[in-house]
Chain A
Amino acid sequence: MASFLPAFRYSHTSPCDPRAAMIVFAAALATTLSIPGQAHMLLLAVILFGLAMISGVLKLFVRRMLFLLPMILFIGIFAMLRSGEGEALLRLWGITLTSDTLTAGISLQLRLLLVAMTSTLFIIHIPSRDIVAAMHSLRMPSRIIATAWLTERFLALLSADVQRQWAAVRARSATLTRVHRIKLATMLTETFILRAVGRSDRMADAMIARGFDGRIPIHSSLRWTIRDTVITLTGTVVLLVFWIC
């Protein structure tokens, strides 16, 4: 049995026990959500960026962050448009931007950026198979495990679909101007959403036909070592110190 276990790993392996990674990830998320001061947040962002560089996933990390950045910016700008107290900095189309709303907007953007960076690093390093095993081992409800796994899988499949669809559009188009690209992207979004719904239905059918009953099968056998204890303790202590100071 022992010799069988390593052979059952079908993709890259986690750098540590996924439960250790999940504990550090949860601590990091809690820190990003409660850390006081923008300087602290910026410092934490630099540390996360450094971690991505040291672990050799910088390119992939940056690519995924570039995808998330526009959404974070949009949410932050939306938060800035709320009415607030403080000195009025700018008045445009009846909307007043005050110092308070500006600070709140920037703060929200930084927090979202940190959440995105932490989650991206975690997802890059820990395969979904191991995350499922860890969640199962931590006695999380099977519904939550299935939702998390299916979301990750579905997003991966959809992003591949988007790439294929975009390649098909470009293959039939001459050089596209920026305006054309935006128009096309808007037009394709509708098609894409309809396709995504159909795809999810068919995928669900295929899973159900193969005996899926709401529980994601567990592939990995987890083994907690001293190294994992060290990683968990170091990670949480560093984040705690960071938060206190």
Chain B
Amino acid sequence: MNTRSEVHPTQEHAIACDNVTCTYPDGTVALTNVTFRIPTGKRVALIGPNGAGKSTLLRALVGVQEIEGEIHVHGWRLARKNLRSIRSCTGLVFQNPDDQLFAPTIGEDVAFGPLSLGLSKAEAHERVEEALQRVGLSASKFRNPMHLSFGERRRAAIATVLAMRPSILLLDEPSSNLDPLGRRLLINWLNELTDTTLLLASHDLDMVAECCEEVLLLNQSILMQGSARELLTDAELLARYELEPPLGLQPLSFRE
């Protein structure tokens, strides 16, 4: 296995992307020369209009999307020989929980990751219990994922990644289709994760404001990287990319 110091000098960065380009087989360009750095422990949001390439970028970071360019995760270069190391420290929650849940029961699904990483059954079991408890689904571990509500499936999908105890958490639109309470629980839980690097792709800029200190504005390439306070209050810039400032920063107007 490669040691971090051997492979790349950017080990202080949890994620380092250099000139990442992705073109789909039908010719659609999803990403063009994407370059950015995320320091270890930083909480960063990835925002941009629909089709900006947010999901593609997240998928590329765990090596399930073919790209050109260089990606380093905790100093490991994204290459076949390092994939196991990268995937053991990186957890990706997909946009659609139905793509992530495939086992006959929630418990088995959550155990899939830890067992695939070679953990013992006892340790995997412990992690399953802890992850399900964190997302409030302890009572559902024997249930079939297909019989849960969308919000519950979303929480179960998060648990599948939590059980792997990743040091980098990649979340793709985690608050979509969650009820207000579920969303609030998610925000609280994300804010409790103090020792994890977070990259959160979302249109929910209120959540972004509460959870992230830094923002990356993506539209095929990185257009802007700055503090959340600075970027999320720039209404003109956000409007240019089909986004709106967080509702919490806007005056409420009621229809009379």
Q: Does A78 contact B (CB under 8 A)?
A: no
Q: Does B115 contact A (CB under 8 A)?
A: yes
Q: Does B76 contact A (CB under 8 A)?
A: no
Given A1-B122, A10-B105, A205-B65, output 13 extra A-B contacts at Cβ < 8 Å: A4-B125, A7-B125, A8-B125, A10-B111, A11-B108, A127-B104, A153-B103, A203-B99, A206-B100, A209-B62, A211-B84, A211-B113, A217-B124
Closest chain B CB from A31 CB (angstroms) = 29
Q: How long is the Cα–Cα vector from A182 to B87 in the complex, in angstroms?
A: 46
CB atoms of A213 and B64 under 8 A apart: no
Stretch at the interface among B67-75, B88-96, B222-230: B88-96
9 intermolecular pairs with C-beta atoms under 8 Å apart: A128-B104, A206-B100, A210-B87, A210-B112, A211-B88, A211-B117, A212-B112, A213-B116, A217-B116
Q: How long is the Cα–Cα vector from A5 to B218 in the complex, in angstroms?
A: 48
Q: How long is the Cα–Cα vector from A210 to B59 in the complex, in angstroms?
A: 12
Q: Contact string, A50-82, partner B, CB cutoff 8 A, digits 1/0?
A: 000000000000000000000000000000000
Q: Does B121 contact A (CB under 8 A)?
A: yes
Q: How long is the Cα–Cα vector from A160 to B148 in the complex, in angstroms?
A: 13
Q: Does A244 contact B (CB under 8 A)?
A: no
CB atoms of B96 and A202 under 8 A apart: yes
Most chain B Cβ neighbours within 10 Å, of A1, A127, A202, A217? A217
Q: How long is the Cα–Cα vector from A206 to B113 in the complex, in angstroms?
A: 10
CB atoms of A210 and B116 under 8 A apart: yes
Name B58's closest neighbour in chain A (CB-CB): A209
Q: How long is the Cα–Cα vector from A217 to B123 in the complex, in angstroms?
A: 14
Most chain B Cβ neighbours within 10 Å, of A153, A154, A202? A202
Chief secondary structure at chain B's binding surface: helix
Q: How long is the Cα–Cα vector from A203 to B109 in the complex, in angstroms?
A: 12
Name A204's closest neighbour in chain B (CB-CB): B64
CB atoms of A210 and B142 under 8 A apart: no
- Interface residues of chain B, those whose CB is within 8 Å of chain A, are 59, 62-65, 84, 87-88, 90-92, 94, 96, 98-100, 102-108, 111-113, 115-117, 121-122, 124-125, 141-142, 146, 160-161, 164
Q: Contact string, A199-239, partner B, CB cutoff 8 A, digits 1/0?
A: 10011011111111101011101000000000000000000
Query: Quick one: given A10-B105, A203-B99, are A217 and B142 in contact (CB under 8 Å)?
Result: no
Q: How long is the Cα–Cα vector from A208 to B116 in the complex, in angstroms?
A: 10
CB atoms of A217 and B104 under 8 A apart: no
Chain A residues with CB under 8 A of B116:
210-213, 215, 217
CB atoms of A206 and B99 under 8 A apart: yes
Most chain A Cβ neighbours within 10 Å, of B62, B121, B160? B121
CB atoms of B84 and A157 under 8 A apart: no
Chain B residues with CB under 8 A of A128:
104
Closest chain A CB from B220 CB (angstroms) = 21
CB atoms of A217 and B64 under 8 A apart: no
Chain A residues with CB under 8 A of B100:
206
Chain A residues with CB under 8 A of B59:
205
Selected contact of A207 from candidates B90, B102, B124, CB within 8 Å: B102
Closest chain A CB from B38 CB (angstroms) = 18
Most chain A Cβ neighbours within 10 Å, of B84, B87, B91? B87
CB atoms of B141 and A157 under 8 A apart: no
CB atoms of B113 and A157 under 8 A apart: no
Closest chain B CB from A155 CB (angstroms) = 11
CB atoms of A156 and B113 under 8 A apart: no
CB atoms of B121 and A219 under 8 A apart: yes
Name A217's closest neighbour in chain B (CB-CB): B115
Most chain A Cβ neighbours within 10 Å, of B64, B88, B91, B102? B102
